[in-house]
Amino acid sequence: MIRYLARRLLALVPVALGVVTLTFALIHLVPGDPVSAMLGDYAAPADVAQMRHALGLDRPIGQQYIGFLYGLAHGDLGQSISQHEPVARLISERFPATLELTAAGLLAALLIAFPLGLIAGANPGGAGDLGAMGFAILGISVPHLYLGPLLMIVFSLDLGWLPLTGRGGLAHLVLPAITLGTALAAIVARMLRQSLVQVVGADYMRTARSKGLSRRAALIRHGLRNALTPVITLIGLEAGALLTGSIITEMIFSWPGLGRLLITAINNRDYPLVEGCVLTFALSYVIVNLVTDFLYRAADPRIRLE
């Protein structure tokens, strides 16, 4: 277990290097100049040249890349060009909001998915199965860009039940969490339904039924845990995607998270801030997958991580 954990943590180094290199190359190839974005198109050439020198943007790309790697190796993500603050501080201020939204979206997805999956898996082909899977197809089909504004119109503007935008109490989380978690809920519900259908015909299920348990009781007591193994894997993979997918939801609901900070940094051509945000998202995704492996092992002790 310890050796496995050490190997996975060591694997973060090439992942981080690859993400940093790719992001650095792409952000410098995109047309646009952060100095022009700050000073405007009509700034004097002397002022532009002075600002570029002060920010180190007049150095060759190779030197800028090596300088960024040197700072990264010492735990320094650099200084934000547009906000004139350390990138690490800006990320640490915004990342908790993104984690909060992602956790709420994951919780909303599970609260929707498990009842639907159990209803569908308990009676395949029945009315409950058709209704649950119909909702799942609908959840996958409706994009965040449409679902978010629709929920805002209905529950905020028309009914006035929930806040429209921003981050505050629990009420502010409801609409963003549902928007973020609906697609995941549909995917998990379909996977859970399929897993339950497969375990229904297992020998241990027939033994449980022969002892007097009802179909539903046998399914929940004995079949559910075995059906959870592929579901946990799916949830782990999608949870990482949920973290990065929160960018769109944050923009819709003006949520002050890391995704919104990333979009602002891209618009301002803020190279250090973009690189820091992307690196944070990438490492978070890898860590989520690592946690998923251990949950996978806890759900099925027969699985060896080594």
CA dihedral angle for residue 68, residue 74, residue 79, residue 85, rounded to 10 degrees: 160
Instruction: Say if 20 falls within a structural domain.
Output: no
Say if residue 138 is in the same domain as residue 181.
Answer: yes
Q: Which structural domain, as residue segments, surrounds residue 62?
A: 35-76
Instruction: Say if 305 falls within a structural domain.
Output: no
CA dihedral angle for residue 190, residue 146, residue 91, residue 4, rounded to 10 degrees: 10
Q: What is the pLDDT of residues 73-102, one digit of tens each?
A: 777 788 888 788 888 899 999 999 998 998
Instruction: Say if 110 falls within a structural domain.
Output: yes
Instruction: Say if 126 falls within a structural domain.
Output: yes
Q: What Cα–Cα distance (Å) separates residue 108 from each residue in 97, 111, 176?
A: 16, 5, 10
Say if residue 70 is in the same domain as residue 96.
Answer: no
Say if residue 53 is in the same domain as residue 99.
Answer: no
Q: What is the pLDDT of residue 74?
A: 79
List phi, psi (to 5°) of 79.
-110, 135
Q: What is the pLDDT of residues 214-255, one digit of tens each?
A: 666 666 666 666 777 778 777 877 777 788 778 888 888 888
- Give yes or no for residue 302 having a pLDDT over 60: no
Q: What is the pLDDT of residues 19-58, one digit of tens each?
A: 778 877 877 776 666 666 666 666 667 766 777 776 666 6
Task: Give the span between the Cα atoms of 99 and 23, in whole angstroms.
Answer: 22
Q: Are 182 and 147 in contact (CB under 8 A)?
A: yes
Say if residue 127 is in the same domain as residue 259.
Answer: yes
Identify the CA nearest to 181 among candidates 245, 258, 251: 245
Say if residue 64 is in the same domain as residue 150.
Answer: no
Say if residue 68 is in the same domain as residue 109.
Answer: no
Say if residue 236 is in the same domain as residue 109.
Answer: yes
Number of domains the chain is built from:
2
Say if residue 43 is in the same domain as residue 162.
Answer: no
Check the CA dihedral 207-208-214-220 and report its sign: negative
Say if residue 110 is in the same domain as residue 226.
Answer: yes
Q: Which residue has the tokens 């998202």?
A: 281
Instruction: Say if 119 falls within a structural domain.
Output: yes
User: Of all residues in the chain, what percent carry a pLDDT higher than 70?
Assistant: 78
Task: Give the span between the Cα atoms of 247 and 54, in whole angstroms.
Answer: 31
More confident residue, 175 or 191: 175
Instruction: Say if 84 falls within a structural domain.
Output: no
The predicted model scores a pTM of 0.78
Instruction: Say if 144 falls within a structural domain.
Output: yes
Q: What is the pLDDT of residues 145-171, one digit of tens each?
A: 888 888 889 888 888 888 888 787 888
Instruction: Say if 11 falls within a structural domain.
Output: no
Say if residue 117 is in the same domain as residue 240.
Answer: yes
Cα 182 to chain centroid distance, Å, stands at 13
Say if residue 63 is in the same domain as residue 139.
Answer: no
